[in-house]
Amino acid sequence: MTELLADLSQRGIRLDAGGDQLAYFPRAKVTPELRDRLRQHKKEILDLLRGPAYRTALPDTVPASLPEPAVSVVILESQPHTLESCSLSALGQTHAPREILVLGVRRNRRMQKTVAAFASHGVRCAATPLDASGEFIVLGDGRTLLTREWIAKGLEQLADRSVGVAYSDHELLSPLGGWTQYPDRLTADDLARSGRESPTVLMRRDVLVEAWRPGESVSTLMRQLARTGWQLKKQSATVLFRGGKHELYYEQQGLASETVTLFIPLSGREHTWRELRRFLDRQT
């Protein structure tokens, strides 16, 4: 095991004990061979991480001068009429972000003016979320508003190194109102179902670098992370969501990547088909 730990240290791989789970970071550096060796020595490594020598090396208190982690906000799906309020909700956080990056504004003069107006507050244009410099990154849908403690509460969940993404419930700002509520933890199977779109999340930068693929949705990214062993956990603060033309936005987003087959046994009752066809034609 000593040889294994030396190999991990040389590669810059960190180990952490989260409950009965062994976490390792950055995951992209862990080869299949190393992963097998970590599984074989899991109990020994966990005992070492939790042992007296390890615990006594930890400070009893956190130094008051310890700097707050740097957070970058990346605004996706920007809209001219929502960009300003979305930026203000990020700037008004109790844990202030280091910077706010706005994607997709180069061809929209109105959004360019908004970015320029907030430039002194760290708002700027970017081409990809990987341009963010913070240790933690918010991937925020441009149609959402963050409640004041959203970043702070999300960071509390990410204190567990086995958690790759912190997400939250959404309050829908539509004429009918309502909520999109999620379980405390999401799995890859959960995210494969309709109604599981969480367009605003908080994650570590190294986790984003590991899974980011241009053109993929946030939910696709989360699904990939869940499949590779990262935990996805809900935080207590919520976001306000203004997207979609009606209350079924989330279900439609999920269905956009699915094929739906209807089996309707009419049993010879052809007179019912006209009415049923009119009903189906009205569906989105």
CA distance 74 to 89: 13
105 and 41 in a common domain: no
212 and 143 Cβ atoms separated by less than 8 Å: no
DSSP secondary structure letters along 158-170: HTSTTEEEEE--E
191 and 151 in a common domain: yes
Is 259 among the domain residues?
A: no
143 and 201 in a common domain: yes
91 and 13 in a common domain: no
Q: Is 201 exposed, middle or buried (0-12, 13-18, 19+ CB in 10 A)?
A: buried
Q: Comparing C-alpha atoms, which of 134, 274, 179, 165 is closest to residue 228?
A: 165
Q: What is the pLDDT of residue 10?
A: 66
Is 284 among the domain residues?
A: no
CA dihedral 203, 220, 149, 60 (to 10 degrees): -30
CA distance 49 to 52: 9
Q: What is the pLDDT of residue 204?
A: 92
Q: What is the pLDDT of residue 268?
A: 63
The CATH number covering residue 202 comes to 3.90.550.10
CA distance 55 to 75: 40
Q: Comparing C-alpha atoms, which of 81, 139, 89 is closest to residue 111?
A: 81
- Total domains in the chain come to 2
Is 45 among the domain residues?
A: yes
- Packed helices 83-91 and 109-117: angle between N→C axes, nearest 10 degrees: 20
Q: What is the pLDDT of residue 260?
A: 64
Q: What is the pLDDT of residue 226?
A: 86
131 and 229 in a common domain: yes
126 and 85 in a common domain: yes
Is 279 among the domain residues?
A: no
Q: What is the pLDDT of residue 54?
A: 44
The CATH number covering residue 41 comes to 1.10.10
pLDDT means per 10 residues, the chain with 284 residues, are 68 69 70 81 74 46 58 87 89 92 85 90 91 92 90 94 90 74 80 65 91 84 87 91 54 53 68 74 68
137 and 40 in a common domain: no
Q: What is the pLDDT of residue 60?
A: 45
Is 82 among the domain residues?
A: yes
Q: What is the pLDDT of residue 266?
A: 64
- By residue range, what is the domain housing residue 22? 2-56
CA distance 164 to 158: 7
Is 275 among the domain residues?
A: no
145 and 83 in a common domain: yes
Q: How many CA atoms lie within 13 A of 56 on its CB side?
A: 3
**Residue labelled with tokens 């993404």:** 165
90 and 82 Cβ atoms separated by less than 8 Å: no
76 and 52 in a common domain: no
141 and 24 in a common domain: no
76 and 46 in a common domain: no
Is 102 among the domain residues?
A: yes
Is 248 among the domain residues?
A: no
Predicted structure pTM score = 0.63
125 and 149 in a common domain: yes
